C-alpha cells in the first residue's frame, strides 16, 4: 500500500505526458489542415481568377503595344484603306473587344476569390467601364462596322499604360503564387 501514492504519481505524470502529446498532435494537425485548406483555396483562386485575368489583360496590353509600335514605324505614311495593315488593326480591335468581354465574364464569375479591397474596387470599376463600353459599341454599331471592314481606328501615339486592375491583379498574382509555392513545399 505504501507504493500506491508513488504509483498514482507515476500514473498522473504519464497522463499529463499523454495529454501534452495529444494537445501537441491536435495543434500540429490543425495547423497542417489550415495550411492545406489555404493551399487548396489558393490553387482554385489562381486557376479561376488570377491566371486567366492577368494573362488576358497582359495579352491585350501587348497587342496594343505592338500595334502602336507598328503605327509609329509606319509614321505619317497613310495606310491603304484595304491594305493588310488596316485589316490587321481591325482584327486586333475586334480581338480586344472579345478579350475584354472574356475578362469581364471571368471577373464577374470569380470575384469571390479577391481578398484585397483595393483589387475588388478596381475590379468593380473595370466591370462598370466594360459594360458601358459594350453598350456604346452596341449602340454605335462599331463592332459590326469593323467586322465588315468599315470604320476608322484611332490609336494613341504614346505608349499605353497598364490599367489599374491589370497592375493590381499582377501584384496579387505574384504574391499569392509565392504563398502557394511556399505552402506546397511544406
How does the average pLDDT of the chain come out, rounded? 81
For residue 42, what is its C-alpha cell? 489558393
**CB 12, CB 77: distance < 8 Å:** no
pTM of the predicted structure, to 2 decimals: 0.74
Task: Name 72's Cβ contacts closer than 8 Å, sequence gap at least 6.
Answer: 157
Confidence of residue 183 (pLDDT cuts 50, 70, 90): confident
pLDDT digits (tens, 9 = 90+) for 89-112: 778 888 888 999 999 999 999 999
**CB 106, CB 139: distance < 8 Å:** no
pLDDT value of residue 146: 72
Q: What is the mean pLDDT of residues 161-183?
A: 91
Amino acid at each position: 500500500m505504501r507504493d500506491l501514492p508513488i504509483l498514482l504519481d507515476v500514473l498522473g505524470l504519464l497522463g499529463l505526458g499523454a495529454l501534452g502529446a495529444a494537445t501537441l498532435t491536435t495543434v500540429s494537425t490543425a495547423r497542417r489542415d489550415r495550411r492545406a485548406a489555404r493551399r487548396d483555396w489558393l490553387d482554385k483562386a489562381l486557376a479561376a481568377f488570377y491566371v486567366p485575368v492577368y494573362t488576358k489583360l497582359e495579352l491585350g496590353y501587348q497587342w496594343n503595344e505592338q500595334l502602336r509600335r507598328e503605327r509609329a514605324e509606319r509614321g505619317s505614311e497613310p495606310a491603304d484603306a484595304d491594305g493588310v495593315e488596316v485589316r490587321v488593326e481591325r482584327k486586333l480591335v475586334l480581338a480586344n473587344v472579345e478579350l475584354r468581354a472574356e475578362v469581364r465574364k471571368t471577373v464577374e464569375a470569380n470575384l469571390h476569390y479577391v481578398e484585397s479591397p483595393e483589387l475588388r474596387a478596381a475590379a468593380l470599376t473595370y466591370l462598370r467601364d466594360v459594360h458601358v463600353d459594350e453598350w456604346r459599341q452596341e449602340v454605335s454599331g462599331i463592332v459590326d462596322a469593323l467586322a465588315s471592314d468599315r470604320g476608322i481606328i484611332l490609336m494613341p501615339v504614346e505608349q499605353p499604360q497598364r490599367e489599374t486592375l491589370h497592375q493590381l491583379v499582377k501584384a496579387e498574382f505574384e504574391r499569392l503564387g509565392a504563398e502557394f509555392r511556399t505552402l506546397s513545399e511544406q
